[in-house]
Every structure is written in structure tokens, then in C-alpha cells.
Amino acid sequence: MKSRLLWLSFFSASLVLFLATATPCSAQIDHNMVSVTKTMTSNVEGRTGRAYDDGQLRPDVGVQLYRRYCVGCHGPLGNGEGENAMWFDPSLGFPKPRDFTAALFECRSTPTGTLPTDDDLFNAITRGFVTTNMPSWRALTVLERADLIAMVKSFSPRWEHEKAGTPITVPSEPTLNIDSILHGRELFDHMQCWKCHGFEGRGDGPSASTLTNDKGQPIPPYDFAVGTRFKCGSTNHDLYTIFMTGLDGTPMPSFADQIKPEEAWDLVHFLRTLQVSLQTPELTLFEQWEKAHPGQLKPMGQAPGTAP
């Protein structure tokens, strides 16, 4: 028993010594994260997320979660220069981590140039980004994701001075028919989408190799032929939103001022025919039409001013 007490004493003493000397290591969390606004909050599904101390039972929850899950890529400054950023090679199709200090986000429901809503950021965190190292964080609770959104927003002063944009209105999707698909194809040709995405949507258009994002890094156009989902979602609604809001920071512009809403749905229906790996209903319908109307499809890139 005496020996046991001796060892217990030793154990306790070493624990106290350890605590007294090692805990500043934990202070890295507070010392290294550089947020512009420490009072930033978010509101998602009726829950309020906080980046820093809420004075309640969840102290510094956003920053702690960011330290745990995000700092490796996005870095302690939120500028996308975490320790792993150097290993992401955009020329090989792995984009660099998002720079939160610029507050420039690709996936939004809001018009181009505006800040996304908290719901947009929530959807992005929940969904993750296909073909990147940003996973789906759906396994985290809603509140934890809300806390992380608050933390993301804390890195840029834009959130202090600007409000999020107003989400665009997405009209109901019209019934799918071949006319819609064929008109969408004409729009694809006329608006020269193929210059980046290629005639078959394989991301191999004549301009594809020259594209860069706002950081000057190479960025490949989306390859409809192999992708199982889009960067900003997987539904027709998501696809509509993508080209009506644009992907800020990338060469993909907003087409909100160039096409009408009903035309946008036609384009959605045509783009779905390019997803040959998924055999979508749109593709099935298109293939049936092609079979019944051999040789009637005009080649793309032939219209005046659209030659490759």
C-alpha cells in the first residue's frame, strides 16, 4: 500500500508539473487563429453558431472546431495556406483550399459579387466539394456546422460591413420535353459554353487549358461526362443556380442577364444529356430523338462568330 501511495503521489505530481508547463501548447488555438471579427455569428435552421466564446457551456466552440477540422488546409489565418495547401496541385485538378479572407465563394444562391447566405455556406460544408479534398461534413451536428460557418465568416471584414445577397428566385422546373433539350443545346452553342466545356461537355474545349481562377491558378472546366455531381449540388435546381449566379472567383460567369429563366431550364435539360455516365432521363430522351432523326442535329460551333 505504501508503494502504491508513492506511485500515486508521483503520478499526481508529474501530472501537475505537466499541466503547469505544457498547457501553453493548447493556447496555440487562441494565439494562432487570426480572426477579424470575434463576435461573428451565423444562423442556420434556427440555431445560432458562434466563432468564439458565447459565455455559455460551449466556449470558443467555432475556433475549436476549426482547429480540429479545418486548419490543416485553410490555415490559421483562414487564407487557404494551411500546412497541406502546398500539396494541392491545381494543374492536376486539385484546387487550392478556399481563402476565407477574400470572402469570395463559388457556391451561392445569391447574385454574383454578393456574399452568400449562411444557408449557402451551410450547404457547402454539408455537401463538400466533389473532386477536391473538401469532404462532406454532414456527420457534424447542425450546430457544429453553424459554429464553423461563424468561424469562416470571422476571417473577412466584408461580413462586418456587408449583408449577404438576396437569393435569386428559381421558378418551377417546366416539364421535360425534347424541345426544351434542343433549345438548351442551341443556347449551349450560341453562348459558346463549349469553348470551355467542349462540345460533349468533357471539359476539353479550346479554351480549357487557359483558364485560371482569381488567384491565377489553373482551373479545369467541369467534365459532365464523368462527374457524379456538380461542385455546388446535384439537382436540376442546383444546376440552374450555378449558371444564374456564376461561380465567383472562377471563369464561370453568371448568365442571369443573358438568358431568361425558362431558357435557363432548357439549358439545364441539355446539360443533363452530357452526363453520359449517369444515363439521365434527359439523355435517354435525347438519344431516342437522335435515333428517330438521324442527321438532323446541327454540329456546334458553326454559327457566325462561334467558330472555335
Binding site for other proteins (CB under 8 A): 3-4, 7-8, 10-11, 14-15, 17-29, 31, 57-58, 64, 67-69, 71-73, 83-84, 87-88, 94, 128-144, 226-229
Smallest distance from other proteins to CB 17, Å:
5
Cell numbers at 39, concatenated: 463576435
- Minimum distance from CB of 239 to other proteins (Å)? 17
Q: CA nearest 251: which of 284, 302, 205, 202?
A: 205
Q: Find all residues with CB under 8 Å of 51, minimum gap 6, and list them.
A: 35, 37, 38, 39, 40, 41, 62, 63, 66, 147, 150, 151, 153, 154
Could you tell me which residues are beta bridge partners of residue 212? Answer: 218
Q: Do the Cβ atoms of 201 and 272 come closer than 8 Å?
A: no
For other proteins, give the closer residue by CB, 130 or 191. 130
**Which residue type does 139 have?**
A
CB of 251 closer than 8 Å to CB of 211? yes
The three grid cell numbers given for residue 270, joined into one nine-digit string: 441539355
Complex with other proteins: residue 130 or 259, whichever CB lies closer = 130
Residue number, 68 or 298, with CB nearest to other proteins: 68
| Shorter beta-carbon distance to other proteins: residue 11 or 39 | 11
Give, in order, the Cα–Cα distances in Å from 281 to each of 78, 93, 110: 41, 29, 29
Nearer to other proteins, 70 or 196 (CB): 70
Nearest approach, Cβ of 173 to other proteins (angstroms)?
A: 23
Partners of 278 in the β-ladder: none
Minimum CB distance to other proteins, residue 104 (Å): 21
As a whole number of angstroms, the distance between CA 191 and CA 281 comes to 24
Closer Cβ to other proteins, 222 or 240, answer by number = 222
Which stretch of DSSP H or E encloses residue 41?
Answer: strand 41-44
Tell me how far, at minimum, the Cβ of 298 lies from other proteins, in Å.
Answer: 33
Residue 115's alpha-carbon distances to 85, 97, 163, 291, in angstroms, are: 24, 18, 7, 46
